[in-house]
Amino acid sequence: MKGYLGIDVGSVSTNLVLLNEGGEVVYDVYLRTGGQPIEAVKRGLKELEQHIPSEMTVVGVGTTGSARQLTGVFVGADVVKNEITAHAVAALRIVPDARTVIEIGGQDSKVIILRDGIVVDFAMNTVCAAGTGSFLDRQASRLGVPIEEFGVLALKSRNPVRIAGRCAVFAESDMIHKQQVGHKVEDIVRGLCQALVRNYLNNIAKGKDLQPPVVFQGGVASNVGMQRAFEEALGVEVMVPRFNKVMGAIGAALLAQEQIDRNPRPTAFRGFGISDLAYDTGSFECPHCSNRCEIIEVFIDQQLVARWGGRCERWDRVDRAVNA
């Protein structure tokens, strides 16, 4: 039985998914990156190895996310794709006629516009933290509300307060003020969800034609308060897939399957044993022109396996000396 592995490594979470030939999730792993993407990937591979069916062989691997290149080199990926492509592919597998994808992760937010199964427009926000998973985690902690109960508590509100959601600093200070004047916690939480949705629609999705069907992905999609706030603002149903937290990894696995099916060849996957190998990274500045490119190097068991970062092909070959 053939299996396809997808890995999505972001700044906050690292997600791994194993799919079967039918595109069904066999097992998924959701971990905190903790500033160490490769260590998180190694932990994920160890867990995944324990749950892979004995009759299944991984024949394709895809990586995505902010650390997709490094992860791709480390595990031996067959395809490395950006998050927009991965999330769009995953959404279309779940909802084939999807026209809008809302994705909110730990540190960034995205909107993807689809028409007839093709990405025609997108936008990302990587500057302001308001509305992201890390911001919601911090506010839930400050309010003494477990993040798992944040959305459910929001739905209990009958008189949500209006909170300034233009940025994380304003939202937090306004929440503190609302607490000080005696508003209920559930009303503040519901107001925060509504404020963050307004911030998303007025900044990231500004000028975009958000047509249904709308698919809501990423860790924040688990917050039913945010889902309801989007539905109220857009006036349409907002669908949250079952595996919303790991949709990027699902997309990466589907892209790997597509690549292998289109161009059959042995996978580049180094195997689950890679989680036991030592790795190291380094960099140097190329002195050969005014661009002064920073060249990234990756070593596995002290052997140089990859370089990237240059604007020319000088360092593409890993056997080329540093002083070339």
Phi and psi for 23 in degrees, rounded to 5?
80, 15
Task: Give residue-wise pLDDT tens across range 144-158.
Answer: 888 788 889 999 988
- Pair (105, 51) in one structural domain: no
- Pair (175, 294) in one structural domain: no
Average pLDDT score, the chain: 89
Euclidean distance between CA atoms 269 and 118, whole angstroms: 29
Q: What pLDDT does 166 receive?
A: 66
Task: Give residue-wise pLDDT tens across range 197-236.
Answer: 988 898 889 899 999 999 999 988 999 999 999 999 999 9
**Residue 262 neighbours by CB distance under 10 Å:** 7
Task: Give residue-wise pLDDT tens across range 296-320.
Answer: 888 888 888 888 788 888 887 766 6
- Pair (182, 58) in one structural domain: no
Bridge partners of residue 296, in order along the sequence:
283, 308
Task: Please determine, for residue 290, whether its predicted confidence score (pLDDT) is greater than 60.
Answer: yes
Burial level of 238, CB count in 10 A (0-12/13-18/19+)?
buried
Q: Considering its fold, how many domains does the chain have in total?
A: 3
What is the DSSP-derived secondary structure letter of residue 159?
S
Amino acid at residue number 322: V
For residue 272, the domain's CATH number is 3.30.420.40
Q: What is the pTM (predicted TM-score) of this model? A: 0.87
Domain residue limits at 70: 2-89+248-276
Euclidean distance between CA atoms 35 and 105, whole angstroms: 16
